[in-house]
Amino acid sequence: MAILNSDIGYFTRFLFHGHGSLILCLLIPGMIIPEPSIAQGNNKQKIADKPLFHDPVYDGGATWKTEQQLTSDPANQRRPRVAAYGESVHVTWLDERNMATADYDLYHRRSTTSGRTWDSEQRLTSNPSIQWRQSMAAYEKSVYVVYEDYRDWRYSAPVRSSRIYYVKSTDGGASWSAENKLPTNGLWQFYPDVAASANYVYVTWSDGRSWTTTKLDIWFIRSTDQGSTWSDETRITSDSGRQEFSRIAADGRSVYIAWQDLESEMPTGTDIYYREGGRYGTDWNAPIRLSGYQWQDGQAAAASNAQIYLVWAEESLTETRGTEIFYRQGTPQSRPLCLVAVDALLGVGPSAKERGAPIQAAQKPAMRRLVTPQEAAALIQKNKNNQSFAILDLQTPEEFKTGHIENAVNIDYYIGDRTNNSKTLRGELNKLDKNKTYLIYCLVDFRARATMDMMEHLGFREVHDISGGIVQWTAEGLPTVK
């Protein structure tokens, strides 16, 4: 999603409602929400006959007006997307009313009165094939909708899959162009996202043209004249793992893309990566890895006033906390990024002092591994007399006293949050010999995983993390000392 203009402080809520399910979007003027959040009710049957609602508010989201129904056709309406600029609000959705002669179509409805009144619905696509997974952006009188289109689908040679199409309006959504295919050469194109700023339009998507070597990659294309002509494509990623679900934001001269990355193809999960394109998307910085815990997905991006904001969902396979929402904020040209967990300060994340510390593009150590307790025990035995091997315990001093691995050195993960303590975890790690091999652990592994990321950025040569921490180590009958 992209915040394009936030001069007027109001929110609009859009509900996708029916049979126990609710989709909720929050809108700030100029903000595009590519993926609405979902609150699932008790009824988990297939949703049908789903009308769209909206609810405008004018005090920054503190209170809400009565919701209004935006659609009333007996067919299903799904996956709404919203964009706004000034007092104009635009909504697009997937519609099933023409399923007898076509597949999903995209419809649009607009308000020019900040959501108080609404114009009639408009059908944006009419090809018999599927059009879906749309994204929308608005800037002044220009509105853009990009989407996956399957009209070129075929299995026979030459094989073709979905392509990225778009429609645009230059009169504030009153009328729309014909459907146009982006001038790309991809074979399999998925999950497009769009951002707009001034006359510039930016589109990103996942592309499978190099599946045999690099699987899915992230690609980018831009227009400098409101979508009349398009640049050559730019390949944003090229490593051997899968990169998908890219999200784009634009602000001023900067373009930002975040994506879900399976670079390591390991069972430890996915990471969130990010690139910034300066000079209106023509000068791309190196990728920056923003997370590296276990499973991160559902990312979204927004940009405004020379700031980039990223959120994602994160899940651990070794803990019982469930899925949490994380957030990062940064400034253009790879200046400092800071991390805040929504369940903050409940034993999650680096200290408050370190959350504002600069994070540079990741430089991977020679070896970074998640190891089982049994593998860790074998590693300790193998390096019993090795002076270049060290064990770091990241528990609190109180936890350390209840049981730790023999010869482990305790560095409190929360050292920077303790009252009247000028030390930081980053500072303590920086005192260590980065050429040594380190085995690290904490209570259940969250702190150790975050510390491994920090050590990676600090340039440590080799780091091993015990999966499940001291809890799993003890559960497998391995010895501890007090």
CATH number at residue 281: 2.120.10.80
Do 256 and 319 share a structural domain?
A: yes
Residues 176 and 240 in one domain: yes
Q: Which two tokens stand for residue 212?
A: 């045999």
CA distance 256 to 278: 9
Q: Are residues 260 and 192 in the same domain?
A: yes
Which of 126-130, 185-189, 429-433 is least confident?
185-189
Closest CA to 268 of 219, 331, 317: 317
The closest of 235, 222, 360, 225 to 288, measured between CA atoms, is: 360
Domain boundary among 329, 356, 383: 356
Give the lowest-confidence range in 52-61, 126-135, 363-372, 389-398: 52-61
pTM above 0.85, yes or no: no
Could you tell me the two tokens for 164? 């990225």
Count of the separate structural domains present in the chain: 2
- Per-residue pLDDT, averaged over 21-38, amounts to 34
| Per-residue tokens: 154 | 């075929």
Task: Show the tokens assigned to 313.
Answer: 């969902």
Cα(153)–Cα(244) distance, integer angstroms: 20
Burial of 62 (0-12, 13-18, 19+ CB in 10 A): exposed
- As a whole number of angstroms, the distance between CA 143 and CA 140 comes to 8
User: Is the same domain home to 172 and 34?
Assistant: yes
CA distance 170 to 162: 26
Domain termination site, one of 291, 322, 356: 356
Task: Give the CATH number, domain containing residue 465.
Answer: 3.40.250.10
- Note whether residue 30 is domain-resident: yes
Domain-embedded: residue 5: no
Residue 362: inside a domain = no
Query: Which of these three, 356, 385, 409, is where a domain ends?
Result: 356
Residues 235 and 383 in one domain: no
Co-location of 30 and 148 in the same domain: yes
CA-only gyration radius of the chain, Å = 25
DSSP 183: S
Q: Between 170 and 67, whose confidence is greater? A: 170
What's the pLDDT score for residue 82? 95
Q: Tell whether 2 is covered by a domain.
A: no
Of all residues in the chain, the percent with pLDDT exceeding 90 is 43
- Same domain? For 380 and 331 the reply is no
Same domain, yes or no: 238 and 150: yes
Q: Under 8 Å CB-to-CB from 20, ≥6 apart: which residues?
A: 40, 41, 42, 43, 44, 45, 47
Confidence category of residue 31, pLDDT binned at 50, 70, 90? very low
Residue 255, domain extent: 11-356
- 262, 243 in Cβ contact below 8 A? yes
Q: Is residue 78 part of a domain?
A: yes
Residue 326 has pLDDT above 90, yes or no: no
Residue 278 lies in a domain: yes
The residue type at 164: I
Query: What is the distance between the alpha carbons of residues 92 and 468, in angstroms, rounded to a whole number?
Result: 45
Of the pLDDT bands very low, low, confident and very high (cuts 50, 70, 90), residue 27 is: very low
- How does pLDDT run across 241-291, given as a tens digit for each residue? 788 899 999 988 889 999 988 765 455 567 889 899 988 999 999 888 887
Q: Are 449 and 476 in contact (CB under 8 A)?
A: no
* CA proximity to 3, closest of 252, 337, 319: 252
- Cβ–Cβ under 8 Å, residues 254 and 277: yes
Residues 352 and 390 in one domain: no
Residues 350 and 371 in one domain: no
Cis previous bond, 158, omega within 30:
yes
Do 222 and 284 share a domain, yes or no? yes
Flag whether 361 is in a domain: no
Whether residues 351 and 398 fall in one domain: no
d(CA 440, CA 416): 19
In terms of Cα–Cα distance, which of 35, 40, 6 is closest to 300?
35
